[in-house]
Each structure stands twice: as C-alpha cells, then as structure tokens.
Amino acid sequence: ACPSPQQVPAGSKAPFFLGTATASYQVEGAFKEGGRGESIWDVFSHTPGKTFEGQDGDVAVDFYHRYKDDIALMQTLGLRNFRFSLSWMRILPNGTGTVNQEGVAFYNKLIDTLKAACIEPHITLYHWDFPQALYERYGSWIDPRVVVDFAAYAETAFELFGDRVKNWFTLNEPESYCLLGYGSGVHAPGRCTDRSRCSAGEAGEDLKCIYYSALAHASAVKVFRQLVPDGVIAMTNAIGMSVPYNASSQEDVAAAQRNQAFNGGFVLDPLYTGDWGAERKQVHGQQLPAFTPEQKALLLENQQDFIALQHYTSNYAYYNKDKPPLLVDTTTKSIDGVQLVQADSPWLYVFPSAMRDLLNWLTQRYNQSILITENGVSAPGEYDKPRAEVLCDQFRVSYFQQYISNATVAVQQDGVQLLGYFAWSLLDNFEWADGYSKRFGTIYIDYNSTGLDRYYKGSSMWLSNHFGLTGIRSGPVANSTSSTGG
Ligand code: PNW
C-alpha cells in the first residue's frame, strides 16, 4: 500500500503537497494512433500561419509511447501526484457514440502504472483539444448541445476510471480557451469577428463560450456526485492579480479591486453565485447570455469542491479618469520605476508577491480552500541556448522559490487553506500557438534527438528537494528503459 500522496513529507519546506502537470495534446503525440479521432487543435496547427513555424502536436513529446519512462523519472524525483488530461477523441473518436477501446486501454495502462508507482492520478477531462467532428456539427462551446455532449463524455470517463481515480477536473481554463479561441482567434478553433485574422465567428462568442462552459461543468459535477461519491472535482481557472500601482492612492486601490473582480470573478462568480458578477454585467450588458432560474439552480446545486487555481503572472492597475471605470489600465512597471522581469513568453511577468495577494483575495471572496493546479515559467532564451545551459535553469528555480515561498506565507501567516501545488510542467511540451519555442518543463526534451531524450533540469531537482521528496521511493519501481539522468 502507498502512503497518502497528499501528505507533506517530513523535511518539507512547504505546508502543502507537490505534483506536476501536463495536458494530452501538449505531450501525447501519436495523433493518428490507437483509433484517436481528430481534434480542433490538429486542424488548427495544420493550418498554415497559425502556430510558430507551423509546428503541431502530431508527435509532441511522444508521451503516448514513453509514459512508462516518464513515470520512472517522476519516481526518481519522489513525485507523488500527477495531473494529466484525457484526449476526448481517444475515448470517443467522434465526440459522442461508440467508445474506442484502444483509447480506454491507453489510459488504463497509464493510470495503473501511476498507481503501481504510488503516484496519484489527477485527471482533467478537457484541456483544449475539442473533437473536430462535434465542432463541424455545431461549433463547440457556443452551442447548447455541448452541455449534453460534455456531460455524456464525463459520465463515460467517470464510469471507466472513477474506480481508481478520485481527483478530477472538468474544464481547463474556460477564460483562456474562450477568449483565445473565440475572441482573439489566436488559439483553436480560431474564431473572432476580425475576418482578416479569423476564419469564422461573430461578436459575443467568447461570452457564450464561458456561459456554456459553466453549464457543462455543473452538469458534469452532477453526474460525478452519483458515480464517484468519494471523489473531488473542480474546474481549473487562470487568474492573475491586479495590484494597485500606487498603494496610497484610493483611486488606484479601487481601480485594482474593480479589475480584479472583473477578471478573477469572470468564471468563479457564476460557479459560486449562479450569475455573472456585477462588473461583467456593467461592461458587457446585453451581450451576456442570461442564466435562467433552472440554470442558476444547476450551478448552485452542483458546486465544486475547491478552487483550482492556475497562476503565472500579475500586473499593476491604475485609475484613468479618461476611461469608463471598468476599463482599467495596467502596467508592468512599478511606481518606483522598477520593471517586472519578463519570462520567455511575452504575456508572462514575474510578480511573486502577487501570489500571496491573490490567494488572500480568492479566500476572502469565495471562502474556499484552494489547490494550485498550475504555476510555472518559460525562461528567457531557452529555445536557442545549448542544452547544458538550459538544464541549469536558475531563472525557473528562482521563480518557483519566490512563488512557493509567497504561497507558504499565505498559508502560515494569513490562514489561506492551500491543499497542494502542481508545477507546470513535468516536461517541455507543445506550447500551443508558440509551438516548441517556449519550454515550461522541469524536465528538458532534446527535440533534436531521435528518442526525444529527457534530461532533468535543475528546477525539477530543486522542487524535489524543497518539498522533501528526494530519495523517497515508496512504491515498486516501474520497468524503465530510460537512460536519462541528472
Ligand atoms: C496555461 N495568463 O494557460 C495552460 O493551461 C497550459 O496548457 C499552458 O501550457 C500554460 O498555461 C503555459 O502557457 C494559461 O495569461 C495561459 O495568465 C495564459 C495565462 C494563464 C494560463
């Protein structure tokens, strides 16, 4: 028997457990194997001009074939928790209908190998790879049929794996896939109103997407309570913190609070109140699809077990008298003129103290415990640098060290209830529109080697040490053909 994977080991410097995370399209590859159906990300990445250098997830980091080796790497680091997502199209190639037994067999092997290694599986049902067959029928998250189809897929997954897997997530970051996939069009399915940039779409689809995502989530939670009564479930949400630019300005403080409620409450307000937040109503008005009394009841009666927070970056917010109050300006330069350090990804600035502020804001607004399901960084220049330099990823170590210590202070001094922490990501992987040019992994992939060889970066060893995990090998060691080591 395995000791509890969520118990904090003696010697840990953090009062919460550690895991690492991945997502199906970003790591699996094997896009035409095992009876897998097509997804919107296959189509999008194969469309010229959509991703960095036209890169795609056809092979990705070949996790589909190499998962045993990767589990062995996790074991060596002492990792006891692993979050991954199911490819909807491996289980239901057309999104609905007949179950593909080969896809089920793959996830059964993955789950059973993890369990044998005393690593707890945490499953995300949907991490952005929507079945193309359903997209062609009704356009995915902008149509009510998605609520029924997602709940049916969720039911299938709970029935198949719920006997062994007790930790579940419904949808990964609706605020990301709705705004990027239906607002700006830079992610699949590439819809937006600007026809010069997108092939399809109309105004308001990003809001419809959030609306149907919230309803699909609640419908899946409802099924979950019947089928996996001893499990826990949540949606994951990408949330940053708006910090007042000038803390002694009442106007900046108020502007930052409005911006925080507007962004941080976008999806969580509907989940916890059954309705849009006041800030959203003010800004979007009639564009917001209204929740009916039945839908409100569905949301309120099927609440998640905790907040699953994905946090990478934050900014300063300030009052601008020339703008409507809810269109708040932000900056990455402090009032003292200090510029926040930029990661390799242009949207990601390092702002560690905002982690503590955010955990407190969420606790005050929703009074829930929190699980950090993603936190991580791409380090400047990692794409081009020689391997030896990338492995010595002091930038990422420093990021983790500062963010985790701020989370630790939030627990120990502010009373935030933090359940655990998943670093993004276990492995370098397909970073969506950025292709392989951004490396979020704590384990390096040599994309030039035929075996897609893995190497520990310093950050994986730092995490293992910080959480008191090095040397822990509680389970039977999985068969490994891996020759990588650190
Ligand atoms: C996450 N932000 O999305 C996704 O869940 C991962 O699949 C992805 O690889 C990872 O971030 C790194 O990009 C986010 O702007 C994208 O704060 C953007 C933000 C947050 C999360």
The per-residue pLDDT for 470 is: 73
Point out the residues of the chain with pLDDT beneath 70. Answer: 471-486
Please name the residue that has the structure tokens 């200090």: 338
Q: Which ligand 1 atom is the nearest neighbour of the CA of 425?
A: 9
- As a whole number of angstroms, the distance between CA 227 and CA 289 comes to 30
441 Cβ inside 6 Å of ligand 1: no
End-to-end CA separation in angstroms for the chain = 29
- As a whole number of angstroms, the distance between CA 342 and CA 187 comes to 22
437 Cβ inside 6 Å of ligand 1: no
429 Cβ inside 6 Å of ligand 1: no
Angstrom CA distances, 353 to 169, 338, 418, stand at: 27, 14, 16
Q: Which of 123, 171, 217 is nearest to 422 (CA)?
A: 123
- Report the separation in Å between the CA atom of 439 and the middle of ligand 1, taken as the mean of its atom positions: 12
- Report the separation in Å between the CA atom of 227 and the middle of ligand 1, taken as the mean of its atom positions: 30
**Residue 263: how many CB atoms within 10 A of its CB?**
20
Alpha helices in 318-454 (DSSP H): 353-366, 387-391, 394-414
Note if 136 is an active site residue. Answer: no
Which of the following is catalytic: 28, 173, 279, 382?
Answer: 173
Q: Which of 432, 429, 435 is nearest to 53 (CA)?
A: 435
Q: Which ligand 1 atom is the nearest neighbour of the CA of 173?
A: 5
Note if 173 is an active site residue. Answer: yes
374 Cβ inside 6 Å of ligand 1: yes
Helix (H) or strand (E) holding 257: helix 250-264
The per-residue pLDDT for 1 is: 84
The per-residue pLDDT for 471 is: 56
Angstrom CA distances, 207 to 175, 286, 288, 318, stand at: 9, 11, 6, 25
173 Cβ inside 6 Å of ligand 1: yes
- Closest Cα to atom 19 of ligand 1: 238
Q: Which ligand 1 atom is the nearest neighbour of the CA of 240?
A: 17
- As a whole number of angstroms, the distance between CA 255 and CA 317 comes to 7
- What single DSSP character describes residue 330? E
Distance of CA 324 to the CA centre of its chain: 32
pTM score of the predicted model = 0.96
Tally of CA atoms within 13 A in the half-sphere of 41 that contains its CB: 30
38 Cβ inside 6 Å of ligand 1: no
Angstrom CA distances, 461 to 50, 125, 423, 464, stand at: 35, 29, 12, 5
The per-residue pLDDT for 19 is: 98
Measured N-to-C along each axis, helices 353-366 and 394-414 cross at an angle, to the nearest 10 degrees, of 40
Helix (H) or strand (E) holding 341: strand 341-342
- Closest Cα to atom 15 of ligand 1: 347
User: Which amino acid appears at position 198 of this protein?
Assistant: C
Q: Which ligand 1 atom is the nearest neighbour of the CA of 378?
A: 12
For 474, residues 6+ apart whose C-beta sits below 8 A from its C-beta are 2, 3, 80, 118
- Report the separation in Å between the CA atom of 163 and the middle of ligand 1, taken as the mean of its atom positions: 30
